[in-house]
Chains A and B, each alone.
Chain A
Amino acid sequence: MGLLFHIGRYFAFMGSALRRPQRARVFFQSTLVELEAIGVQSVGIVALLSLFMGAVIAIQTAHQVSGWIPAYTVGFTVRQTMILEFAPTIIPVILSGKVGSNIASQIGTMQVTEQIDALEVMGVRSISYLVLPKLFAALLIFPFLVVISMVLGIGAGAWVCNTADLSSFADYKYGIQMDFSAFDVTYALIKTCVFSLIITSVSAYHGFYTAGGAREVGRSSTKAVVYSVVIVMVANLVITQLLLT
């Protein structure tokens, strides 16, 4: 019963969020602010994690396959892992911790300090005003972050292979080019777009329906991350099943 209630309220919430903005100029200005908050401020953590993950995947693969499988397998494995799963799924999961909790706590704080009531009394459609720029910004910027992650991860794999003498650069290069399918990138970007909408909308939903005080804001923030991650994982399975089989 509780689950059905939340599903129904979530879709009603999304219906309000996707309404036409009352002021186009204000909407675009808010979207620019969100692009900075969601995207630009996340580049550092995305780059750092991708560099380390790419390097670690390369070392682990080289360790597993050394001596009995061709050396180009390292490049191939790093490419496939980064493009198919790490960049489009794990990066959004990590971002749900950063961006999702931020959105939930921001909107939750606005709710408990009556800022949302103030918007409503003025005649502002608060859900659309607060959520639509975030959805739009995330939809625009997440694919860029994911592409950055792919490039840096694969690059870090090349660097560590060369530095630690795990495989030659030629082998690594051959590996990342072997059997390359552009559809893998398309699949990854489709996933990313869906996940970006899930993370921002689920987090905004939990923030918006915060009731109480500071403790509830913290709870909403936690719930936003947990539910976002769970829904992203379920969506990952569904999208993969639909697009790759």
Chain B
Amino acid sequence: MIRVQGVGKSFGEKKVLHGIDAAFDAGAVNFIIGRSGSGKSVLTKCMVGLLEVDGGTVHFGSDDFTAMRFKEREVVRRRIGMLFQGGALFDSMTVLENVEFPLRMFSEMDADERMERAMECLRRVELEGAEHRFPAEISGGMQKRVALARAIVGRPKYLFCDEPNSGLDPQTAIVIDNLIRDLTQEYGTTTVVISHDMNSVIEIGDNIHFLHNGRVAWCGDRSEILNSGVEVLDSFVYASDLMRDIRTKLQGK
């Protein structure tokens, strides 16, 4: 479980996060949604320590991450897997080397064991056969799957996914969504997904936090999000014609 309490963050005069409180459950897919500029990415970066918080705490289990020194954070970070928006694969390494990298840095496995584990993860994301290709030689969807394989190779307790579906076609997006849900259940990870893709939210979101102007404006599950009664959330959820049609049909029943 990850707990965020009173997290604030400013950039100069601009206050981006206003005392965020949120809890992200283990074994569940937790979504942080909101419009562009609402503070989703900043909150995530604060949670994994890529940005320092101005105030508040972030707890990974019982460990207060924000109070930790650099070396202590390194230990927690080895339990974190992260899928970045653009994949963030190391372009000088092959697919296999990318997936193997965390093991090469932090495990005591020998080369054969590392290779076996990396191949297991590649098979899990259905990328067997692509292991000797470079990131530039594979499609965006495949890059996301490689990044997911790299994120889970160390059997993380916490999985962060930043806009996992951005730039993907709807079918590939569903493949990625299903992988995230299945891996969360398989490994029992606390998964945090940052997205503004309502399809994904409805499809796999167990807990949903809606951010608006740097504050948690709503929190609930996917069964509640369509009838939240919160104006800013409704205008976000029903921004597209498709979603408005769904609402009309639901109301007609």
Compute the total of residue contacts between A and B using a CB distance below 8 Å: 53
Q: A122-B78, A123-B74, A123-B75 are in contact. Are A117 and B88 (CB under 8 A)?
A: yes
Q: State in angstroms the CA–CA spacing of A123 and B79 once bound together.
A: 9
Secondary structure call for the B interface: mixed
Are A121 and B82 in contact (CB-based, < 8 A)?
A: yes
Residues of chain A from 15 to 49 with CB closer than 8 A to chain B in the complex: 22-23, 26
Asked whether B106 lies within 8 Å of A117 as measured between CB atoms, the reply is no
Give which listed residue, B75, B80, B85, B91, contacts A121 with CB less than 8 A.
Answer: B80
Q: Would you call B105 and A117 a contact (CB within 8 A)?
A: no
Minimum distance in angstroms from A125 CB to a CB of chain B: 8
Q: Which residue of A lies closest to B79 (CB)?
A: A123
Chain A interface residue count, CB cutoff 8 Å, equals 16
B140 contacts partner chain A, Cβ-Cβ < 8 Å: no
* Residue pair B89, A115 in contact (C-beta under 8 Å): yes
Give chain B residues whose Cβ lies under 8 Å from the Cβ of A120: 49-50, 77
CB neighbours of B73 from chain A (8 A)? 123
Cβ of B48 under 8 Å from chain A: yes
Q: Do A117 and B102 touch across chains, with their CB atoms under 8 A apart? A: no
Interface residue? A118 (CB, 8 A) = yes
Of the residues B50, B75, B104, contact of A26 by C-beta under 8 Å: B104
- B134 located at the interface, meaning its Cβ lies under 8 Å from any Cβ of chain A in the complex: no
- CB of B86 within 8 A of CB of A122, answer no
Majority-rule SS of A interface residues: helix
A64 on interface, CB distance cutoff 8 Å: no
Residues of B close to A123: CB separation below 8 A: 73-75, 77-78, 80, 105-106
Does chain B have a CB within 8 A of A114? yes
Q: Is the CB of B88 within 8 A of A23?
A: no
In the complex, what residues of B have CB within 8 A of residue A23's CB?
104-105
User: Contacts of B45 on A, CB cut-off 8 Å?
Assistant: 117
Q: Judge whether A124 is part of the interface by a CB distance below 8 angstroms.
A: yes
The reply to whether A122 and B77 contact each other, CB–CB distance below 8 Å, is yes
Given contacts A22-B105, A23-B105, A26-B104, contact A121 B48 (CB under 8 A): yes
Render A117-142 as a binary contact track against B, CB cut-off 8 A, 1 for contact.
11011111100000000000000000
Given contacts A120-B50, A121-B80, contact A114 B85 (CB under 8 A): yes
List of A residues within 8 angstroms of B218 by Cβ = none
CB of B84 within 8 Å of the partner chain: yes
CB closest chain-A residue, reference B80: A121
Enumerate B102-127 residues with CB–CB distance to A below 8 Å.
102, 104-106
Cα A121 to Cα B105 in complex, Å, equals 13
Query: Chain B contacts of A125 at CB under 8 A?
Result: 74
Among residues of B, the one whose C-beta sits closest to the C-beta of A115 is: B88
A112 to chain B, nearest CB (A): 10
Q: Could you say which of A22, A26, A118, A124 contacts B88, with CB atoms under 8 Å apart?
A: A118
| Total count of chain B residues near the partner, CB < 8 A | 24
The B-contacting residues of A in range 88-108, CB under 8 angstroms, are none
Check B104–A122 contact: CB distance below 8 A.
no
Q: Which residues of A contact B85 (CB under 8 A)?
A: 114
Q: Does B236 contact A (CB under 8 A)?
A: no
CA distance A117 to B90 in the complex (A): 11
Residues on the A chain within 8 Å of B102, using CB? 122
A145-186 interface (Cβ within 8 A of B): none
Task: Quote the shortest CB–CB distance from A146 to chain B (angstroms).
Answer: 27
Task: List the A side residues contacting B84 at CB < 8 Å.
Answer: 114, 117-118
Q: Tell me, rounded to whole Å, the shortest Cβ–Cβ distance linking B102 to chain A.
A: 5
Q: Which residue on chain B has the smallest CB distance to residue A117? A: B50
Complex alpha-carbon distance, A216 and B117, angstroms: 38
A113 at interface (Cβ–Cβ under 8 A)?
A: yes
Residues of A within 8 A of B89 (CB): 115
Across the interface, name the chain B residue whose C-beta is closest to A122.
B102
How near does chain A come to B146, taking the closest CB pair, in angstroms? 12
Nearest CB of B to A152, in Å: 31
For the complex, give the distance between the alpha carbons of A118 and B105 in Å: 13
Chain A, residue nearest B90 (CB): A115
A84 to B86, alpha carbons, bound, how many Å?
Answer: 49
Contacts of A114 in B (CB 8 A): 84-86, 88
Contact among A109, A110, A121 for B50, CB-based, below 8 A: A121
Q: Which residue from chain B places its CB closest to the CB of A125 in the assembled complex? A: B74
Q: Inside 8 A of A115's CB, which chain B residues have their CB? A: 88-91
For this complex, 15 residue pairs linking A to B, each with C-beta atoms less than 8 Å apart, are: A113-B91, A115-B89, A117-B84, A118-B82, A118-B84, A118-B88, A121-B49, A121-B77, A121-B160, A122-B77, A122-B106, A123-B73, A123-B74, A123-B77, A123-B80
A residues sitting closer than 8 Å to B (CB atoms) are 22-23, 26, 109-110, 113-115, 117-118, 120-125
